[in-house]
Structures are given as structure tokens and as C-alpha cells.
Structure 1
Amino acid sequence: MVPIASYPSEPLAAPLAALLARRPESDPEVEDAVRDILRQVRKEGDAALCALTQRFDGVEVRPGQLRVSASVLAEAEAALDPNLRVSMEAAIANIRAFHERQKLNSWFVEDGDGVMLGKKITPIERVGLCVPAGEVPLFSSLLMTAVPAQ
């Protein structure tokens, strides 16, 4: 059985300090580059995504290609090996069950002076996902980002 340790606790203090000390300092050049990328995407939208995909991934894509059409999805589904589909559906169910337990709920309370306090959880309508593809795209990377985003 995996040992479970509570934090804060005296036995964890030294190992945790050692782990945190190993953490690299942030690189100002990397932070500046990321800020520039975010600024470019905010300003230029999909055109920036296409330009950055060309720059970083060497893939030429046009804004109209960023969304996969229903017909392409249907073709891919028809070509999918049934055994692979069963495995993927099992993985999706496991990932979803895990992340459902992490889901936060909105809550509100009125204090003694009639002031309403609380936290409102609002889902995001759409998100963009990055699935790195060194030699080949990994199903696991796609599933571990797409399923929680749903």
C-alpha cells in the first residue's frame, strides 16, 4: 500500500524542503517569450495560431482548418478498430470518473449583515488543447487534456 502523508507534518518538512529546493528558477527569457505569444494570439486570433503552429511545429495550417469537420470525424470513427474503440472508451470512463470527483460546486451564504458571500463556478464554453506530437501524437495526451476539459 502506498503510504499517505498529511501536510503540514514534521516528518514531511525536510523531504518537502529538499524537493522544493530542486525546483528551477523561472527563466525571464521564457516568460517574456510566452507573454509575447499570448499577446500575439489575443491581438491576431486564429491567424496567430496558424503562424505559431508553422513556427513551432513546422505545419502549415489555415484558420479554416482549425476546426475538424463533421464529415472528417465520421470517416475517422468509421475507420476506427473496434478493439481500440473499446479501450479508448474504458480510458475515457476512468479519466472522467476521476475528474468528476475534483469538480467544484458553486456555493453562497448570507452573513449576519445581509451580505451575500460565495463562490460561483462558471464553466468555459470552449477551450483549445495542445496535444504534442513528437514522433506521433499520443492518445493518452489527448484523453488527459480533452476529457477533463469537457
Structure 2
Amino acid sequence: MAAYDPYLLGPWAGAGLGQRALPPQAGSAMLQAVIMAPVLVLVMMFAFGGGKLALAQIDVDGAAHAAVRAATIERTMAEAEAAAQAAAAAGSAAHCSGVAIGISGDLTPGGTLTATLTCTVTGTGIPLLDGRTLTAEASSPVDQWRSETP
């Protein structure tokens, strides 16, 4: 039998007859998988939470538009604010809590109303994203040719 030569046999040197020594990297793929799995889960959770946050912003924008449109149909500012609050609450209820709406502008025919909606995001499933405040603003003209009486 030939003499032991570590340069010839490389990392498998020292294995007995009929045995195969494991390379030094044995088990490293499993260790990489164990380390990377939680990282991938966190990345997926943040992607999912970010998507829910984007959907919430879209809902808040839509609720602001619905609120200002509902306000422009009313005859008095008090009725306009009540209609805007109802429309905003209905439009942003899925993703938000603590909806606050502010109406400003001129309710006379040909004027413009602006609604500013602010709410707190809930239900994203990620503590860092829950509780964020979203704001949307929308404007709408008051119908110039509407009658003065209902």
C-alpha cells in the first residue's frame, strides 16, 4: 500500500479502508437554511404589511374624495360636514380607526370645497406599521348651476 500523502488525498485524507470521510463543508447547507428561513419570513411579512399599508392609503384617498363629493351636494356647511364624516367613515373603515375629517372652502355655487382626512392604520399584522397616521386631501367644485332651494 502506498504511503500516506495529504497533498494527494486532500480533505478526505485519513479515512479508513472502505470508509469515506466527509468533506469539511458537510452540514453547512442545512445551517444556511436554518439561518436564512427566519430572515425570509421577516422579509415576506414586511412585504405583506407594506402592501396592506399601501391599500390603506388608497382607501383613505378614496374616502377623502367621497367625503368631499358628499359635502358639495349639501346646502349648508353643517350638513356638508356631517355628510363628509359619514362618507369618510364608510370609506376607510376597513383599514383605519380614529377617522378625522376637516372641510374647508366655499359652499356657494361655483366654489370649491377641500376635505382633509386623517386616520390611524390598524390590522397590518406588523407592530411597526400599525398605528401609523395616514392623511389624504381632496378637492371638489360645488355645482355652479344648482338651484338655491332643495
Q: TM-score range by the shorter chain?
A: under 0.3
Taking structure 2 as the reference length, the TM-score comes to 0.20
More helix per residue: 1
Taking structure 1 as the reference length, the TM-score comes to 0.20
Give 1 or 2 for the bigger CA radius of gyration.
2
